[in-house]
Structure 1
Amino acid sequence: MVQGSGFMVHRFKDGSTFRLLLGLFCALTQCLSLNVASRRRPSRRRIFSHSGGLLHRCSFSFLSVKVNSLTLSSFMAEGNSQLNNLVEENGTSELPSHAEGAAELSPPSKKEGDDSKDVSKKKKKKSKSKKKKELIQQTDPPSISVLDLFPSGDFPEGEIQQYKDDNLWRTTSEEKRELERLQKPLYNSVRRAAEVHRQVRRYIKGILKPGMLMTDLCETLENTVRKLISEDGLQAGIAFPTGCSLNWVAAHWTPNSGDKTILQYDDVMKLDFGTHIDGHIIDCAFTVAFNPMFNPLLEASREATNIGIKEAGIDVRLCDVGAAIQEVIESYEVEINGKVYQVKSIRNLNGHSIGRYQIHAGKSVPIVKGGEQTKMEEGEFYAIETFASTGKGYVREDLECSHYMKNFDVGHIPLRLPRAKQLLATINKNFSTLAFCRRYLDRLGETKYLMALKNLCDAGIVQPYPPLCDVKGSYVSQFEHTILLRPTCKEVISKGDDY
């Protein structure tokens, strides 16, 4: 096959036949290009070889035009010259035999440049469509709000667990499904808060290392939360101070301004922080230990939390959840520096129900057997948290206080100190009944407020929450998730790939 004069041509042994056909084809294509008014509807014609074989089966639309013999002769001459050129280029006057195939006449092909232009146009269209479909990716360190990462406004749901036994019918109940559809805005709010928690803790786990100043750690975490949640006063933000309690300190410790505590290799740190949207709180915690000898201690509280979540459900008694948790925790032992310790549940620490702008909504979830006979109810939020200790399994208040929270049901109480009134106004505006710490007041520009803060505590308006500690020298681990008892199923809202 050779290419020339804009045609792909199979050469024939019968050159005269080929010349005739080529000239005729040139004439026909030239007729098509003439701008002549049509007098009749186009007719269909087919061209065949005289040898009986099919030369080229194609259709042409002919216009009714007059083509004189001189014009046809010129077209024939043009065909002869094209064929002679082909023969001269190949250096022979003999054409291949008919066995090579029938002559095929094709319309002029596109130039290579035209093909490349078409391909480039298609690529551009594809690249534009891909750009439109591409989702925004989170930066490192995280700085993009989850609202931008999920432009549809629908956030990932947590882990779904089905109810058991007498509540199994809820899974397929149309009535219960309709109740859930009505609650979709609420569910989406807590899922947004949970997605922020997941992304922040993933980032923090990646940068944690011995030698970090605890104040820097907390401020990095909190500033990341503020960015990702699009902090907006009481509508979206941090739910309570970042707890980073070390070793025998089980809960409620965060550094005050000026604290120089440094994270050590042999520390066991409980990282407990919260997020909220419109007062709907995610309370979630995990434990970090660089030294692998503490792994059994961490595993005790992690597994106990998972068991507590599994046991929880509508109409389940809180004491039954506590019994299941204690059984898991106290099945563990841990060897620390050559000494074996029996792991214990901390009997005076509990999980709790969560309300809107209320971190402790009234119900407690024990982590030991006995206790409350109260049942869990449909629609409730719970923080299922467990504490495993190598100490006595009992905590007391100790160390300098950093956590404070305005009492949820407090009414109007007259205050004499103007500074206390001013501080209360700041608390109401920025925290309402959400917990806060001294660093948060410092960040708002408050100074010399300790006396006024004490006055608010003494008046019963604000409640202090000092650190809770087991015996010195012991180690405590903690894991926690927020769950929602939906009408049809149980959703572990804060669940992630990490725990």
Structure 2
Amino acid sequence: MIAPVKKPDEMPPVSADGEEEVEEVEEEGDPENQGAGGEGKKKKKKKKKSKKKKMEQTEPPTIGLSKLFPDGNYPQGELQEYKDDNAYRTTSEEKRYNERMAMEDPEVTYNNIRRAAEVHRQVRQYARKYIRPGLRMIDIAETIEDGVRALVEENGLESGIGFPTGLSLNHVAAHYSPNPGDTLVLGEKDVLKVDIGVHVQGHICDSAFTLSFDPTYDPLLEAVRAATETGVREAGIDVRLGELAGYIQETMESYEVEVNGKTLPVKPIYGLSGHSIIPYQIHGGRHGKSVHSIRNDDQTKMEEGEYFAIETFGSTGRGKVIEQGECSHYSRAIDVPPVDLRLNSAKSLLKSINKNFGTLPFCRRYLQRAGEKNYLLALNNLVAQGVLNDHPPLCDVRGSMTAQFEHTILLRPTCKEVVSRGDDY
């Protein structure tokens, strides 16, 4: 049913802040029922109504989340009940109490995780419409990163980009982000992995998806997405990591892709895995846990309160990767003993890295944005001294295609929250 359209002179006035204003009107009683004094029996007043127009995100996204969510409460992700022996957690009074205590504890910061996830959802929503063949990879990366910085309201190490935007193509599975001067252009036959990281107070939302403009590789994308969903569904408190990997593997290997009349199995990529996440450390630090895509004997269990990235990579190639190509990703090594740096430029660069990134991964473009110039010698020196880790692109055999999907999940006391869930994946 279509509502009638009001004429201009019937439209209620709108205040400067977007509120709809309604004038107060007095209604006299029925003249026939007036008393001796000529006064009506009753007067009615229409209450003033106000309706605030909800602010909406722009395209490209530029409005910070604090303006879209002025109460400071950000949307929950998808909630899933635990399975089997942990099903009791949903109604357990003890676990519900633990949940309340967690919500009151500022160091747990569920809300910060959700803020990072909402930034991720809104930025990738635009990115999925914006990305198309013919665009330079560096423009895609910077468009995504500009959106993250604006929406998370970047503020030093308090909030910002969680790691360099991954835009790995085709046989390159991970760790490619364009360096300054990169002229690579996205092609119609390319398979593009888009890996975006957002952090709030070090709590990182790590989530990725794959785009293909050639329907030939739709089954590859479907296989990897289904494998990630299996990992998300089967993950939970007390689940053994080796068994979880087996469920992921079984799902992915049930798919195949037909390329030029040849049927190719989809293989999980050995050595690329999901991982636990702790504040300011994307791979969970020295004692981090890994969620592989191939069954193994790891008896380590997931535990209450842990935060995981469930990511899977599939390939039409050999299912193994090697480091290959120009490096863009770097991160400061954790718990490195003091090193006597002889180059003054290395000392200066390390100071800048500590200030701007801490232990968060970064790339060369971020160094330039921080004002660093002629830094390559110092950067390589810090890698050689073990102060920095370099992370070159990870590649399967040339000619193969790879895909990636990823979600971050929070193992709450009462339920599992898929914080990065969106309408798209």
The answer to whether the superposition gives a TM-score over 0.5 is yes
Counterpart amino acid of 1:181?
Answer: R
Structure number with the bigger relative contact order (C-alpha 8 A, sep ≥ 6) is 2
Hey, what does 1:463 align to over in structure 2? 389
Alignment of 1:266 with 2:189, yes or no, is yes
Hey, what does 2:65 align to over in structure 1? 146
Alignment of 1:475 with 2:409, yes or no, is no
Deviations 1:205-241 (A, max 9, x none): 1111110000011011101100000000000000000
Hey, what does 2:119 align to over in structure 1? 196
Counterpart amino acid of 1:393?
Answer: G
Alignment of 1:298 with 2:221, yes or no, is yes
Change (3 A) 1:389 1:456: same
Hey, what does 1:80 align to over in structure 2? none
Any conservation in 2 of the 1:146–1:196 contact (CA below 8 Å)? yes
Counterpart amino acid of 1:388?
Answer: G
Of 145, 153, 161, which aligns to 1:230?
Answer: 153
Hey, what does 1:161 align to over in structure 2? 80
Of 409, 419, 423, which aligns to 2:345?
Answer: 419
Q: Distance in 2 between matches of 1:249 and 1:332?
A: 20
Hey, what does 1:180 align to over in structure 2? 99
C-alpha RMSD of matched pairs (Å): 2.0
Hey, what does 1:374 align to over in structure 2? 300
Hey, what does 1:61 align to over in structure 2? 36
Consecutive unaligned residues in structure 1, runs of 5 or more? 1-55, 64-105, 108-117
Q: Distance in 1 between matches of 2:33 and 2:226?
A: 77
Counterpart amino acid of 1:422?
Answer: S
Q: Distance in 2 between matches of 1:460 and 1:448?
A: 20
Q: Distance in 2 between matches of 1:332 and 1:404?
A: 34
SS at match of 1:301: helix
SS at match of 2:195: strand
Hey, what does 1:386 align to over in structure 2? 312
Hey, what does 1:12 align to over in structure 2? none
Hey, what does 1:454 align to over in structure 2? 380
Q: CA deviation at 1:134?
A: 2.5
Deviations 1:168-208 (A, max 9, x none): 11111222222222222410000000000000000011111
Any conservation in 2 of the 1:273–1:285 contact (CA below 8 Å)? yes
Hey, what does 1:92 align to over in structure 2? none
Q: Distance in 2 between matches of 1:292 and 1:219?
A: 27
Q: Once superposed, which parts of structure 1, at least 4 consecutive aligned residues long, lie more than 4 Å away?
A: 56-59
Any conservation in 2 of the 1:358–1:408 contact (CA below 8 Å)? no
Q: CA deviation at 1:59?
A: 6.0
Give 1:435-450 correspondences, 5 Å limit.
435-450=361-376
Q: How many residues align?
A: 386
Counterpart amino acid of 1:160?
Answer: L
Hey, what does 1:409 align to over in structure 2? 335
Q: CA deviation at 1:138?
A: 1.1
Give % identity. Answer: 59
Consecutive unaligned residues in structure 2, runs of 5 or more? 1-30
- Higher helix share goes to which structure? 1
Deviations 1:245-297 (A, max 9, x none): 00000000011111110000100000001000000011100000011111100
Deviations 1:406-428 (A, max 9, x none): 01222322211111000000000
Q: Distance in 1 between matches of 2:233 and 2:34?
A: 75
SS at match of 1:286: strand
Counterpart amino acid of 1:274?
Answer: G
Q: Distance in 1 between matches of 2:397 and 2:416?
A: 36
Deviations 1:76-102 (A, max 9, x none): xxxxxxxxxxxxxxxxxxxxxxxxxxx
Hey, what does 2:137 align to over in structure 1? 214
Q: Distance in 1 between matches of 2:206 and 2:334?
A: 18
SS at match of 1:477: strand
SS at match of 2:223: helix
Alignment of 1:335 with 2:258, yes or no, is yes
Q: Distance in 1 between matches of 2:80 and 2:254?
A: 25
Any conservation in 1 of the 2:190–2:212 contact (CA below 8 Å)? yes
Q: CA deviation at 1:348?
A: 1.3
Change (3 A) 1:260 1:59: closer
SS at match of 2:168: strand
Q: TM-score, normalised by structure 2?
A: 0.88
Any conservation in 2 of the 1:247–1:268 contact (CA below 8 Å)? yes
Q: CA deviation at 1:58?
A: 4.3
Change (3 A) 1:371 1:450: farther
Deviations 1:329-351 (A, max 9, x none): 11101112322111101121111
SS at match of 2:283: coil
Q: Distance in 2 between matches of 1:279 and 1:412?
A: 24
Change (3 A) 1:57 1:486: same
Counterpart amino acid of 2:415?
Answer: C
SS at match of 2:35: strand
Q: CA deviation at 1:356?
A: 0.5
Q: Distance in 2 between matches of 1:282 and 1:60?
A: 71
SS at match of 2:291: strand
SS at match of 1:321: helix
SS at match of 2:336: coil
Q: CA deviation at 1:61?
A: 2.6
SS at match of 1:405: strand
Hey, what does 2:18 align to over in structure 1? none
Q: CA deviation at 1:359?
A: 0.5
Q: Distance in 2 between matches of 1:438 and 1:143?
A: 24
Counterpart amino acid of 1:370?
Answer: N
Q: Distance in 1 between matches of 2:341 and 2:100?
A: 46
SS at match of 2:166: strand
Hey, what does 1:316 align to over in structure 2? 239
Of 41, 48, 54, which aligns to 1:135?
Answer: 54
Change (3 A) 1:147 1:57: closer
Q: Distance in 1 between matches of 2:173 and 2:411?
A: 27
Q: CA deviation at 1:62?
A: 6.2
Q: CA deviation at 1:139?
A: 1.4
Any conservation in 1 of the 2:356–2:370 contact (CA below 8 Å)? no
